[in-house]
Amino acid sequence: MTSMVVLGLSIATVLLLLGAFLATLRQDRKGRTAEPPVEVAPLETPLPAPVGVVGYAGSDYADPRTLKVGDGIEVHGSPARVLGAMFISWQGQEWTEFLLRDTARRRQWLSVETRQGDPPHLEVFMWTEVPTQGMVPAKSMIVMEGVEFFPIERGTAAFRSEGETGLPERGLLDFADYRASDGRLLSFERIQGGSWTASYANPLAPGSIAVVSRAP
């Protein structure tokens, strides 16, 4: 009887030891095969390009700086002709504004300016006139059609004109530029102290302009 009890206890002890060994073995295998957590770097959101900044260096796109009065062009595939040009200078900056007429005989101004930087870049805008309703440019924020615009640049520039612009051959141009929080641009201009006109700017990317024919 005593032998049977001792044998039973021995078997129970062996089973307990065997169970503990197997549990330890499973735990050890789990620890060896488990893969360490992979650290995933957060995705970086690319910064948006500045409104109106486009580059033409080293590309096959037509360079708008080469436009001349009388050229036939296409803007986003729509034909237009360069009627005239204004060559403007102000505090060391120079830019050109081309007067275009499309097939519906509508007129719009296309501005082209080389901005200094690293590297230099072109700013090309198509301007669409908006009614000022007697508004004049303020030195603080203004509201146009429910949108707040904040002043960025203003001054009096000298200009020289060519072609059919309806402007003097030489003169002075007052301007005041504004930008909205969403990047939209608004500009006021007046020639020789005349009435103010206002226009919105739409940036043109490389490839938007194609030269169809050159003036003789």
Question: For 65, which DSSP code?
Answer: G
pTM above 0.75, yes or no: no
3-class secondary-structure state, position 22: helix
Query: Which phi and psi (to 5°) does residue 83 adopt?
Result: -85, -40
pLDDT given at position 38:
35
Per-domain boundaries in the chain: 66-213
Q: What is the dihedral of CA 128, 133, 134, 139, to 10 degrees?
A: -60
Non-local (6+) Cβ contacts of 180 within 8 A are 147, 148, 149, 150, 186
Single out the residue of 215, 208, 216 nearest to residue 61, CA to CA.
208
- List the pLDDT tens digit at each of the 216 positions of the chain: 444 434 343 444 444 444 544 444 444 433 333 333 333 333 333 333 444 444 555 457 889 999 999 999 999 999 999 999 999 999 999 999 999 999 999 999 999 998 877 677 889 999 999 988 889 999 999 999 899 999 999 999 999 999 999 999 999 999 999 999 999 999 999 999 999 999 999 999 989 999 999 998
